[in-house]
Structure 1
Amino acid sequence: MSQIGNLTLNPSSPFFILGPCALESEEFAWQMARSLKEIAERTGIQFVFKASYDKANRTSVDSFRGPGVKEGCRILGEIGKELGLPVTTDVHTPEEAEIAAETIDFLQVPAFLCRQTDLLEACAKTGRPLNVKKGQFLAPWDVSNIAGKLQHFGCEDFYITERGSSFGYNNLVTDMRSLYWMRDMGLKVIFDATHSVQRPGGLGGTTGGDGILAPVLARAAVATGVDGVFMETHLNPEKAFSDGPNQIPLDQIEAVLVKLLAVHKAAHSE
């Protein structure tokens, strides 16, 4: 079985990566982590807490980014230690990967950086499990080259995350066939429900999205078969500092999870 921090994954059920898009403040991150831990305990899900310390590819130069790698990883590391949760966050450079690996259980490579060889090598050398977001510009079979790089650098514990493909301007579409094809290649696959409904740059200076569709696509992905599901959630998406239109309101996430577990049971029971 795979291990993420103190979480030994049961492959008979998908695990869930949940949390806000951005690490808006230390108090906010703690509030979200505690709330999601309670929900995870009630629903019985396998849970990894997520928040980003730096939104490095925002549409506008004026957009909020976050506290940065050292402060952000300190906060996430303390949350993980005190609450007994594995934590994950994005890294953007080889130097950040080395810093994050000291406190972060599960490193994540953003979609736009998924082919950056130096970054993949640095992540692999940390010894941490790794999640690589599939670029919006890649075909499912193209990820075999990403897998080949990671294996070349000695990393065997990694996941590929589907998060939609560019479909014209300011639009993404998810091809559910990619989930099957990538798993059929022997890869472990995560589905990112909330970034798959983005409309990149769709609001001019910010990214738009169709958050109402995130649970819909998540149900389809779970029915198709995935190893994990990634969903961003927020106390009040309308006031989120980043990606508000795509995030699922915190007061709705438990019902979404219960339904996803039911879909998984129905689709994959013997």
Structure 2
Amino acid sequence: MELFDRLSSPKKDCNGSPCGPFFLMAGPCVVENEYITLKTAEYLKSLTDKLGLPFIFKSSYRKANRSRLDSFRGIGDEKALGILAKVKNELQVPIVTDIHETHEAVMAAEVADVLQIPAFLCRQTDLLVAASNTGKIVNIKKGQFLSAGAMQFAAQKCIDSGNHRVMLTDRGNSFGYTDLIVDFRGIPQMRSFGFPVVMDITHSLQQPNQTSGVTGGLPQMIETIAKAAIAVGVDGLFLETHPNTQEALSDGANMIPLDQVESLLLKLIPIRKAL
């Protein structure tokens, strides 16, 4: 079955109600080196195979939105995409990665199965059109400044460009200057538009705009947000993970340690089955 059909089938098979396994989009925030990327991908692939969960490996080849100029942004586009290609080919797993400018779409599409539009860029028409024109699945992350209802217009730009393979991802809403809050009403609302909906667990627990210039986070709440998202019928989960979050070069403050992912998923699967 084609990838998008597999991701959409839990919605289609039950007349809009969630059924079947949720899918997982997970990996390190950014490609740091080949060892960490492959080690993380191998573990997640083995785990999701064992649990029967569809899996897409996530890692950004470059980070464009950083708090400070000296923040780590990547090891170089060509090198990072080469590592993601190795993950894809050796482990036979689909890849999702972010794009930030229109000229990146074709380059990233040579490796990625899913092109992800960052939350701050979700209204950028030219970027959405460029991603759609590749024919790849387009995962649009909801801007922290938007309502769930507004995402139908972002998705429509892709559809009007001839690409119906669209997913929508929630990552919380801005709450004051230094926090985010998840409005779980948005998940069923976005599902009603007819697209698979993903909950970005770890980014919704960021604490941006800290005076230190380094984004904080509340990783102790990952299980709470994940359980609630599954309970309200999300199609997939997005989370960032790392073998050693204390040494992660990007977003370590809100990631889940790799060795805790299995325990989390084992708590979520029974909730999904209960639906």
Q: TM-score range by the shorter chain?
A: over 0.9
In structure 2, relative to structure 1, the CA distance for the partners of 1:90 and 1:237 (3 Å cut) is same
Amino acid at match of 1:73: L
Task: Give the root-mean-square deviation of aligned CA atoms.
Answer: 1.4
Of residues 91, 94, 97, the one that matches 2:99 is 91
Distance 1:59 1:224 in 2: 33
In 2, are the aligned partners of 1:97 and 1:107 still within 8 Å (CA)?
yes
**Residue aligning to 2:270:** 262
Distance 1:41 1:182 in 2: 28
**Residue aligning to 1:253:** 261
1:109-128 correspondence to structure 2 within 5 Å: 109-128=117-136
**Residue aligning to 2:86:** 78
In 1, are the aligned partners of 2:36 and 2:243 still within 8 Å (CA)?
no
**Residue aligning to 1:131:** 139
Unaligned runs of 5+ in 1: none
* Aligned sequence identity (%): 46
SS of residue in 2 equivalent to 1:39 = helix
2:151 is equivalent to residue 143 of structure 1? yes
- Displaced runs of 4+ in structure 1, greater than 4 A? none
Query: How far off is 1:27 after superposition?
Result: 1.6
Amino acid at match of 1:179: I
1:188-207 correspondence to structure 2 within 5 Å: 188-202=196-210, 204-207=212-215
Distance 1:87 1:142 in 2: 27
Unaligned runs of 5+ in 2: 11-19
Name the TM-score, length of structure 1 as normaliser: 0.95
Query: How far off is 1:48 after superposition?
Result: 0.6
Amino acid at match of 1:94: T
Amino acid at match of 2:143: G
Compare 142-151 and 165-174 and name the one that shifted more. Answer: 142-151
Distance 1:90 1:203 in 2: 26
In 1, are the aligned partners of 2:177 and 2:209 still within 8 Å (CA)?
no
Name the TM-score, length of structure 2 as normaliser: 0.93
SS of residue in 1 equivalent to 2:230 = helix
Distance 1:69 1:125 in 2: 21
